[in-house]
Amino acid sequence: MSGTAAPFEVRGLTVAYAERPVLWDVTWAAPPGLTAIVGPNGAGKSTLIRAALGLIPTLSGSAHFFGRPLAEVRNRVGYLPQRASVDWDFPATALDVVCMARYPRMSWWGRVPRRERDAARAALAEVGLADFAERQIGRLSGGQQQRVFLARALAQDADLYLMDEPFAAVDAATEQAIVAVLRRLTETGRSVVAVHHDLSTVPDYFAQVLLLNGRAIAAGTVQDAFTPETIAATYGGRLNLLEHASVTAGARG
């Protein structure tokens, strides 16, 4: 990266819940393109994203987006939270939810303008849910709900997307649809940083990786940084035998 600032960068980020530190002095910059954050449960992957976005308090450190604090570049940053973080019984249609991404572009009062509504419909179409726009969100399948969230992120029309487990508990078809959308995003010069659970698909889906377990263990291209040694260092004894087998098959060691 010469000259231009990284899309996403954290410096000395430290976060603690009550007395227990979860993230410990993490300094890392995500280059443009598709980046995965991997690590065991409780490694602070979601915490890293949420702290960087100012959703939870930090003890120290800072986060920058395109070299600037979030408040100055909010319209360039999109967010896809974990699906379980909201109440899917909420009285809203898929289109209602996606429209929420366009609220910052609207006046604070009144209805959603036709232009914003069309943008939201286009985002739904992009994830293959054009026919489900008027469906109540509680009556969508888990994979469809995840795609609604993806559509909402797309409707933000950002340059960088932070995604918290976009592939969590989705069916194979949805996973492929999401991957296709992520690839299209990078083809148009956007960047994606995604918390990812399935180590075996990291080399297929992502170009860059951050291995995280409280601290940043390793980072770089999947080729260089995603090795059996760094994975072992990240997961320690917690990686069971079965998982280990699939990891070493997927990693280019």
Partner 1 sequence: MTLGYNTIVVLAGCALLGLAAGTVGSFALLRGRALVADAVGHAALPGVVLAALLVATLGHDPRALPPLLAGAAVAGLLGVLAVQALARTRRIREDAAIAIVLSSFYALGVALLSYVQTLPEAAQAGLNKFILGQAAAMRAEDAFWAGAVALLALLLCLLLFQRLRAACFDPDFARVAGLDTQRTDLALLALIVTVTVAGLQAVGLVLIVALLVLPAATARLLTFRLPRLLLFSALIGAFAGAAGAAASAVEPDLPTGAAVVLAGAACFTLALLFSPDRGMVPEAVRRAGRRLDAAQEHFLRAAWEAQEAAGAGPGTAGDRWTPIAALAAARGWGEGRAWWIARWLAVRDLVALSERQVHLTPRGAAAARRAVRAHRAVEHHLLALGAADTAGADRLADMVEHGLTPEAASRLLPEPSALPASPHALGGKP
Nearest approach, Cβ of 1 to partner 1 (angstroms)?
Answer: 24
Measured from the CB atom, the residue of 160 and 217 that comes closer to partner 1 is 160
- C-alpha distances in Å from residue 252, one per residue of 199, 203, 212, 246: 12, 8, 19, 12
CA 126 to CA 105: how far, in whole Å? 21
Residue placing its CB nearer to partner 1 in the complex, 86 or 207: 86
d(CA 162, CA 10): 13
28 vs 65, which CB is nearer to partner 1?
Answer: 65
Backbone angles phi, psi at 158, to 5 degrees: -100, 175
- List the beta strands (DSSP E) in 190-242: 191-195, 208-213, 215-221
Q: In whole angstroms, how close is the CB of 70 to partner 1 at the nearest point?
A: 8
Query: C-beta of 99: minimal distance to partner 1 in Å?
Result: 8
Residue 12 or 104: the one with the smaller Cβ distance to partner 1 is 104
DSSP label at 35?
E
Binding site for partner 1 (CB under 8 A): 50, 53-55, 74-75, 77, 79, 81, 85-87, 90-93, 96-97, 100-101, 103-104, 106, 108-112, 136, 138-139, 152, 156
Nearer to partner 1 (CB atom), residue 137 or residue 211? 137
Q: Which of 191, 165, 148 is nearest to 46 (CA)?
A: 165
Element (H, E) at 247: helix 241-250
Using alpha carbons only, what angle is made at residue 24 by residues 241 and 194, rounded to the nearest 5 degrees? 60
The single-letter DSSP state of residue 114 is H
